Amino acid sequence: MTPPVAKLAFFKLNVPDLAAARAFWERAFGFALVGGYDLPDFAEDILAIPGEEGAPQLMLVQTKPAGDVSIGPGHGPLGFICPDIAASFAHAQAEGAIVLMAPTDVGGVIVAMLASPQGHQIELVQILT
């Protein structure tokens, strides 16, 4: 049986400080706020890369009151394809990203690992041609 069609729409990150998290993703990777919610139990910012609004969005969520958002071992990084990984890596680091692995050639692909100031892993990839 063929599964019903589904389209990947978003990635959601729980954050302890919504404004600080949004500022990091805007400055480090160029995301822009395209929507959001402010409800009694949580606030959520919806972010997208300008010009790529049809691509999966990044949603940042802060519970009210702010609760534990410890990041456990059962998650993976958000991945970004970068035409110039060195520039993207340096810029993200200058905006507060934590270096986990410097850009490394792993055989036809350069990979780097960072963490956001909130601790979410970020994987940068540059495909070598």
pLDDT tens for each residue of 15-57 = 999 999 999 999 999 999 999 999 999 999 999 999 997 899 9
Last residue of a domain, one of 36, 51, 70: 70
Say which residue, 80 or 5, is predicted with more confidence: 80
> Which structural domain range is residue 47 located in?
8-70
Domain contains 3: no
- Please give the radius of gyration of the chain, using alpha carbons only, rounded to the nearest integer: 16
Domain contains 1: no
Average pLDDT over residues 116-124: 95
Confidence band, pLDDT 50/70/90 cuts, at residue 91: very high
Average pLDDT over residues 104-128: 95
| Residues 109, 76 within the same domain | yes
Distances (CA, A) of 86 to 15, 77, 103, 122: 27, 18, 7, 14
CATH of residue 43: 3.10.180.10
Is residue 73's pLDDT more than 80? no
Domain contains 36: yes
| Residues 25, 65 within the same domain | yes
Average pLDDT over residues 95-111: 96
Q: How far apart are CA 24 and CA 120, in angstroms?
A: 12
Task: Please state the domain count of the chain.
Answer: 2
